[in-house]
Amino acid sequence: MMGMVGLTRTGRFAGVGIGLLLVALSAGCLGRSPAADHFVLGNNGLLSIDRRAPELAVLIGPVRLPAYLDRPQMARLRSGGEVELDEYARWLGGFETNFLRAVSLGVARQLGSIRVTTFPSSASFPFDAQIRIHIDDLVVVDDESLRVRIRCAVLREESGAPPVFFLHEVSIPLEDDSTEGVVNAHDKALASFVEQIVAELTR
């Protein structure tokens, strides 16, 4: 009889243990972190196709980034100089890859050239010009605007002309503070940057 009572208590303890385990597993499933959303640059605010210099071959890059852009997470600058990284909103493949791709596509559309590529390149054709880029600022400030400051050098490969330097500095208001609003502001900034590059290339 005592043995039966002991067995019953053991069974109860086992049942309670299994129940707690199921509750823990359920909580783990319900509390699972949401998956990150991934975005690419250059899909919005695309410049119209032009044929301003279809014969030009252009190498875009390299690009130097501030630390907050050298990662996939989107960054926002808060008051006091704090940079907030969004773990659930990311640039697909990282910001550098997205940036160079978007700039090269924009330049190619404006020039009408099929010989525009990104650094590093294994292209078999020589380049007429190289665009070297240094991003000082490209960040959302207080959920209100995108602050843009990009220095650029246009190097002519064969002409022997000295490099042409220019500064692209703008502030673009956000349509709203959503992630989509942030991406749209980046696309607008890149569109205006591309226009300035093409203007220098075709001067």
Q: What's the topology of domain 37-201?
A: Rossmann fold (3.40.50)
Q: Where are the beta strands (DSSP E) in the chain?
A: 37-39, 58-64, 73-77, 83-91, 116-118, 129-141, 145-156, 164-173
More confident residue, 131 or 80: 131
Q: Look at residue 49 in the predicted model and tell me its pLDDT.
A: 74
| Prior bond of 163 cis (ω within 30°) | no
Tens of pLDDT, residues 135-181: 999 999 999 999 999 999 999 987 778 999 999 999 999 999 999 99
Domains of the chain, residue spans: 1-32, 37-201
pLDDT for residue 199 is more than 70 = yes
pLDDT for residue 18 is more than 90 = no
Tell me the mean pLDDT in the region 5-30: 51
Q: At what angle do helices 95-111 and 179-201 cross, to 10 degrees?
A: 50
| Cβ contact 143:74 at 8 Å | no
Backbone angles phi, psi at 178, to 5 degrees: -75, 165
Of 135, 109, 133, 106, residue with least CA distance to 119: 133
pLDDT for residue 27 is more than 50 = no
More confident residue, 5 or 35: 35
